[in-house]
Structure 1
């Protein structure tokens, strides 16, 4: 997590709507379980194809790709793997977010690092994650975590993952975190995994968990949405790329009215003018 966008003006002692949804609602649990069930099915099919001698495709974009013209790393005979983000993808940071809500705080990098180092016992697994990851390992598929958590806190992050039932993660091997001073992009680390493994699935809660191309400078919210839903990328969702819900923070939380709502789709309530013209004190039925 790196200085993520969040709704402004937090109020101490209240739970923002995004947190209510992600950490408290059955709807969010259902979406997460749905995504992980689809992941397990996809991974099982990939393992079956490999065992039957059928070619398996990588889902990591190769160098030189664009969102309009994606192509993928070759798999060959490399062993299979899946790559997952950590925060709000496999772990729910309940302790950190509860502290933020209770005290009306905004994101602070120093506080987040303290959380990384000391909060391992205050997390839950995302619904469906444990079962899907266990199924992948049972099928002989390696599980690799790529996160922008701090590399210096790797042992604590590994403890958090294992304590949540998500298995062992080895720093520098199956746990690739952000080195001090490095950028937030993940393409280089994905490429590192793809050099030795055929990555059949990517799992995350932000578009950057699938490609740094979604974070290109100057890319508007409308352009990102169009790219994610475009003819080249849309077929990947649920078929190698698996997105988890996160309305609490991240790159998706931006855009004013003019950026979010197309001009030709805006509506003005025809009753609004009449209400505005009514004399003061008039009862509205």
Structure 2
């Protein structure tokens, strides 16, 4: 009798674990399906390159205005991933394989050196370089990926990629210390370009979306004059900002958070 009870308990537990595994696999598939549409838009729409070209055009104008107003040693700070270079092929691979981001697979992608230039990015960088400015590439790519990143950027035609101008993540994803370092060298930063609010300073770093939206409203005059943002619907701190502890959640829990965060129309009957 005891043996039978133990066997039934083992079968029940095994069935439960199997059901949980299947549930998480379904959730992984749904997460992948959701990201596929974002990647389709970035890769195939005409709207995405239009927005990118528009953003760099206005950023160029803002730089010109700053110089005309007497900015000395003007500098421009840009992010890399999904700002100057396009990694959507990596996102497409992750969606197809139904796997989450990992440092290992990201490093493998980085070393493949297959990122493309965002429309207008190379031209913008060359304009700043040829009109008295210094462009700083401030990225949260890892130091171990520096050489591959430099070679990828140079192959795409980005100017003056060097140890001075390419500042990677050596201790923290908070970019503020690197921004301060640039200013400490005597540069006047007149334009920032990014795809994440964290690309404009530490005010939104590790903050939830309520605080991130508040930052935007508090700095509304800087957007379009000093801060220039490109869209990135595939990933970013806006996603982890959906809920505390989001990054550590299971796929099922992430789906629930995403659905609960939606503002849903409720038709009257």
TMscore range, shorter length: 0.7 to 0.9
CA RMSD of aligned residues (A): 2.2
Q: Distance in 2 between matches of 1:138 and 1:249?
A: 33
Which structure 2 residues correspond to residues 14-33 of structure 1 after superposition, within 5 A? 16-33=36-53
* Higher mean displacement: 91-100 or 130-139: 91-100
Per the normalisation by structure 2, the TM-score is: 0.77
**Aligned-pair distance for 1:183?**
1.8
1:170 aligns with 2:162: yes
**Comparing both chains, which one has the higher relative contact order based on Cα–Cα distances under 8 Å and sequence gaps of 6 or more?**
1
Aligned CA distance change for structure 1 residues 215 and 246 (closer, same or farther; 3 Å): same
Is this contact kept in 2: 1:18–1:248, CA < 8 A? Answer: yes
Per the normalisation by structure 1, the TM-score is: 0.73
Aligned CA distance change for structure 1 residues 46 and 18 (closer, same or farther; 3 Å): same
1:111 maps to which of 69, 90, 105: 105
Is this contact kept in 1: 2:91–2:234, CA < 8 A? Answer: no
2:146 equivalent in structure 1: 154
Q: Distance in 2 between matches of 1:214 and 1:12?
A: 25
Secondary structure class of the residue paired with 1:237: coil
Q: Which is higher, the Rg of structure 1 or of structure 2? A: 2
Which structure 2 residues correspond to residues 1-285 of structure 1 after superposition, within 5 A? 9-10=28-29, 16-50=36-70, 56=71, 77=72, 79-116=73-110, 118-120=111-113, 122-171=114-163, 173-179=164-170, 182-196=171-185, 197-216=187-206, 219-230=207-218, 233-253=219-239, 254-255=241-242, 256=257, 261=263, 267-271=265-269
**Aligned-pair distance for 1:137?**
1.1
Gaps of 5+ in 2: 1-26, 243-256
Q: Distance in 1 between matches of 2:181 and 2:153?
A: 21
2:23 equivalent in structure 1: none
Gaps of 5+ in 1: 1-7, 51-55, 57-76, 272-285
Q: Distance in 1 between matches of 2:52 and 2:29?
A: 26
Aligned CA distance change for structure 1 residues 260 and 212 (closer, same or farther; 3 Å): farther
Deviations 1:44-71 (A, max 9, x none): 2222332xxxxx3xxxxxxxxxxxxxxx
Deviations 1:64-91 (A, max 9, x none): xxxxxxxxxxxxx5x1110100000000
Q: Distance in 2 between matches of 1:88 and 1:13?
A: 19
Please identify which structure carries the higher helix content.
2
Secondary structure class of the residue paired with 1:159: helix
Q: Distance in 2 between matches of 1:234 and 1:80?
A: 22
Is this contact kept in 1: 2:175–2:201, CA < 8 A? Answer: yes
Is this contact kept in 2: 1:11–1:101, CA < 8 A? Answer: no
